[in-house]
Amino acid sequence: MTLAPVAADPADVVELDLFLEALHRRWHYDFRSYSRASLVRRADLARQRLGCASLSELQGRILRDAAVLPDVIDAMTVQVSELFRDPTYYLALRREVIPHLRTFPSLKVWVAGCADGEELYSLAILFREEGLLDRTLFYATDLNRRALARAEAGVYPIDRLPDFSQNYQRAGGAGTLADHYTAAYGRVAFDRRLRERTVFTEHNLAADQVFSEVHLVSCRNVLIYFDASLQDRALGLFAEGLARGGFLGLGSHETLRFSAHARHFAAFDEPGRIWRRIASPEDAHA
């Protein structure tokens, strides 16, 4: 016998809606179109971190106390990642995408939703090893200012290195990961030259617009936290921001197959979750 799911308490639904509306109207952070299940967990985490008995109490605090906002945004966003996460993706970039990118005299790469920076450093290392780092400008964006600061610092606990190194090798690393960092006092700091050509800037996929034409958009494991309408908005930004022939990389459980913007892309390496920007659907067969 299959039990019907327990309906959400109407009062809890209203309370969450009011909290999200307050966050949006007071501080312009728009989480209203994020996946509902994720929102419930994240809002409750924010409530606990701030020691509030209810979301209504937390709502009152964010309306009147700007000092609590960074803690709330930290709780409402996801910064879980690792270097060369899903190595198949980076191997596909190295083997299939890089040869096309080499044909451009200069490159722009947008790392959308960069969190604490692991994806950025993965790409920077790959581009360095392929001889493209010095002619590439990276845009590393996130709506979480604290995460951007951590990404810009490029410092991680040393106990994460075994997983980082294993992923690097599986992603086709040309040397050893130690070529790209220094270790001391239980932490590793990635070579500052990896981020010398990186612009770290706040950007909200739910509200902001495209800021530059780019050759590669890497936005991995971000769309899974959005509802269908917000996924379409983000994919529309990527379609608008990509140069013709540019590439879009998504996470292993993400796709644009059912998006309203799918017509702007052709599958390039589906196992690696990489698509290519086309000018029209007819170009997909050119």
Tell me the per-residue pLDDT of 81-129, one tens digit each, with 9 for 90 and over: 899 999 999 999 999 999 999 999 999 999 999 999 999 999 999 999 9
Question: What pTM value is reported for the model?
Answer: 0.90
User: How confident is the model over 37-85, as pLDDT tens digits?
Assistant: 889 999 999 999 999 999 999 999 999 999 999 999 999 987 778 999 9
* Rounded distance between C-alpha atoms, residue 266 and residue 244, angstroms: 11
Predicted confidence at residue 12, as pLDDT, reads 84
Read off the pLDDT of each residue in 249-270 and give the average, rounded to a whole number.
Answer: 92
pLDDT category at 285 given cuts 50, 70, 90 is very low
User: What is the model's pLDDT at position 98?
Assistant: 98
Q: How far, in whole angstroms, is CA 98 from its chain's centroid?
A: 21
Q: Kindly list the distances between the CA atom of residue 198 and the CA atoms of 106, 137, 250, in Å, as whole numbers in the listed order.
A: 14, 6, 20
Chain centroid to Cα 131, Å, comes to 24
Q: Is 7 a residue whose pLDDT tops 90?
A: no
Within the chain, strands assigned E span 107-112, 136-142, 155-157, 181-184, 187-190, 198-202, 214-219, 242-250, 265-269, 274-277
- The whole-number pLDDT of residue 37 equals 87
* Tens digit of each residue's pLDDT (9 = 90 or more) over 128-181: 999 999 999 999 999 999 999 999 999 999 999 999 999 999 999 999 999 999
Q: How far is residue 131 from each of residues 87, 94, 158, 258, measured CA to CA in Å?
A: 20, 11, 27, 36
Residue at 32: amino acid letter: R
Percentage of the chain with pLDDT > 90? 81
